[in-house]
Structure 1
Amino acid sequence: MKIGIGLAKTTMIVIIAYVLILIVLGISYHFVQLLGISMSMTSSGIVQTVPFIIITWFIWKYIGYKKWSIGFKEKYWKKELCIGLIVGFCLMSLIVLLILTADDVSIRYYMVNKEVLLSLVPLFFLFLMVGFSEELFSRGLIMGAAKYYAGKWFAIAFSAIGFSLLHAGNNHFSFGLPFINLILAGLMFALFREWRGSIWLAVGLHITWNFFQGPVYGFRVSGISLPSIITIDYMSYGSPYINGGEFGPEGSMITSVILVSVSCYLLYKLVQKES
């Protein structure tokens, strides 16, 4: 009964938040068109993150402020953020290394010069905003509300599924490995939040996971193609189940194994923490 009521209340909060976000986004783009402003993919992506941050904060402030934590209360948040940045880099580097070892992709060429490095600055800021806004929404608002209304384990599962569905509109998304891996990624982020007590490690991990996956290593990020330092070729005999295909590494079974392994470790640490 508690989980059913908790599901209904949390779902209602998510629906209200998402509808408000869509309304604000629609109004924003309408004004951009009226003013005749041309926006790049990067600037458009950054603009999309702003309503997520504002609406999430607004709903929590007026509905959940005295009920649940949004995950900001962390004395050592800078340390947690830095740990997350390192973990995200290490995990994505491991996944890419394993895909390369499987000989499913090859590096065509790479380019490192002043112009390329400068072009990475707005992309890093984009993924900084994406990582922060998605974690604030998924692990702050959704997970916080779900935990308050229905308990910790329901919150972890609910936020993971919600996180995956948040990407359902992305190019080349399917309800196969991309859907499953995004649930597993959401599960990993949620377990990090529960174990560490705040969203900051998950935010850092999310930022470098995306940034190194796309602008550095040259893969698609959740189906989105971006300029990158490294340009890769998919081998003609390669399998999308290994290299992720058009969705990127988040559509790869290698990523599935890594995410399950990390999540099992985090479950162990969480149980150990509570015992």
Structure 2
Amino acid sequence: MSSNIAFRTPEAASAWQRWLVYSPVARIIIFAALAFGVGFAVHNVLRTVGWMAKTATPLQHALAGLSIELSATVVAYAILVLLIERRSLRELSLRTLPTYGVGGLIAGFLIFSTVVGVLWLCGSYHVLGVNAHVDWLPAVLVAGVGAGIGEEIVTRGVLFRITEEGLGTWWALAISAVFFGGAHIFNPGATLWSSLAITIEAGILFALLFHVTRALWACIGLHAAWNITQGTIYGIPVSGTDAKGWLTSSRTGPDWLSGGVFGAEASVVAITVCTLVSVVLLMIALRRQSFVRPRWSRRSKVSYEATPTS
């Protein structure tokens, strides 16, 4: 269990440092402020060079969005870990990229292909043709690479990991999953149901995957492959955003089955498939006894064990 706690407050830290620098709330706020500042600066630079203009090409718009998201999240996270927590970036170690990163990509493709396969068997997903000339690169950069890296750093690397250190794994799972689902409520075609679906199928799944692997690359790979497979390959809207994929497709049937305009992520099929994967990950975590208790519970256990017996 202790190995799942990446950061511990230095013993020599003063009282004000414990509250204003090293506490979970302080570190989350520091990250948010850094990400906003870096993202704002990069946004202004790209606007100056014309990549944010309406006349810019789709690829320039995609590169601009990718640059803003990656610079903001990666730089802010590196500063948080290296300068504030003063530890190595082991959850983003390049040595784990060939294993966890590639594994995540394969898992994301297989999971969403299973969702589409079930929808097809149910008569909801229909292939209308093949669009061999689709401009796939902008979507891959923004919905795949950008969302995969940026959203996973924010939600799993910062929110889940730091909350887990303070409140324990169960609360971290709930808070990060609800945050992730709620963040999609402003997407096109979003409803309370679609946000609940994202909370259950992705918020819990990605958090458990990070808890089990302690590697952000696994979450990044799965997230990126999920979006790319959904939009760029199968031509299904990605979280409400219209997607032009290699396959031209349509979905029919009730919204609870097809997912409606939001996409297959709002389908009970996606919820069921992802919940089954989450159950497997949960069983692995419980068997390892890796769940982290709340900080006050850990302190009570340490104090009890340290008390001499008569």
Please tell me whether residue 104 in structure 1 is matched to residue 104 in structure 2.
Answer: no
Query: Which residue does the alignment assign to 2:308?
Result: none
**Counterpart amino acid of residue 241 in structure 1:** W
1:233, 1:63 → 2: CA distance?
A: 49
1:106, 1:49 → 2: CA distance?
A: 34
1:167, 1:19 → 2: CA distance?
A: 21
Deviations 1:194-244 (A, max 9, x none): 112222221111111010100110011111112211111233xx1111111
TM-score (norm 1): 0.83
Provide the aligned C-alpha RMSD in A: 2.6
Give the SS at the match of 1:106.
Answer: strand
| Higher alpha-carbon deviation: 224-233 or 13-22 | 13-22
Shift of 1:189: 0.9
1:33, 1:77 → 2: CA distance?
A: 33
Unaligned runs of 5+ in 1: none
2:244, 2:284 → 1: CA distance?
A: 38
**1:249–1:18 Cα change, 3 Å:** farther
1:257, 1:77 → 2: CA distance?
A: 29
On the 8 A contact 1:219/1:248 being kept in 2, the answer is yes
Match for residue 59 of structure 1 among 80, 91, 95: 80
Query: Which residue does the alignment assign to 1:124?
Result: 140
2:44, 2:92 → 1: CA distance?
A: 33
**1:255–1:144 Cα change, 3 Å:** same
Give the SS at the match of 2:248.
Answer: strand
Give the SS at the match of 1:176.
Answer: helix
Structure showing greater radius of gyration is 2
Give the SS at the match of 2:179.
Answer: helix
Query: Which residue does the alignment assign to 2:106?
Result: 86
Q: Percent identity?
A: 24
Q: What are the residue-to-residue correspondences of 1:68-87 with 2, within 5 Å?
A: 71-72=91-92, 75-87=95-107
On the 8 A contact 1:53/1:137 being kept in 2, the answer is no
Deviations 1:88-125 (A, max 9, x none): 0000001011112222232221123xx44xx3344333
Query: Which residue does the alignment assign to 1:227?
Result: 244
2:118, 2:195 → 1: CA distance?
A: 18
Q: Which runs of 4+ in 1 moved over 6 A?
A: none
TM-score (norm 2): 0.74
Q: What are the residue-to-residue correspondences of 1:183-262 with 2, within 5 Å?
A: 183-235=200-252, 238-262=253-277
**1:35–1:45 Cα change, 3 Å:** closer
**1:65–1:180 Cα change, 3 Å:** farther
Please tell me whether residue 146 in structure 1 is matched to residue 183 in structure 2.
Answer: no
Match for residue 115 of structure 2 among 65, 71, 95: 95
**Counterpart amino acid of residue 250 in structure 1:** E
Shift of 1:36: 3.6
Unaligned runs of 5+ in 2: 1-18, 291-310
Shift of 1:12: 5.0
**1:241–1:13 Cα change, 3 Å:** farther
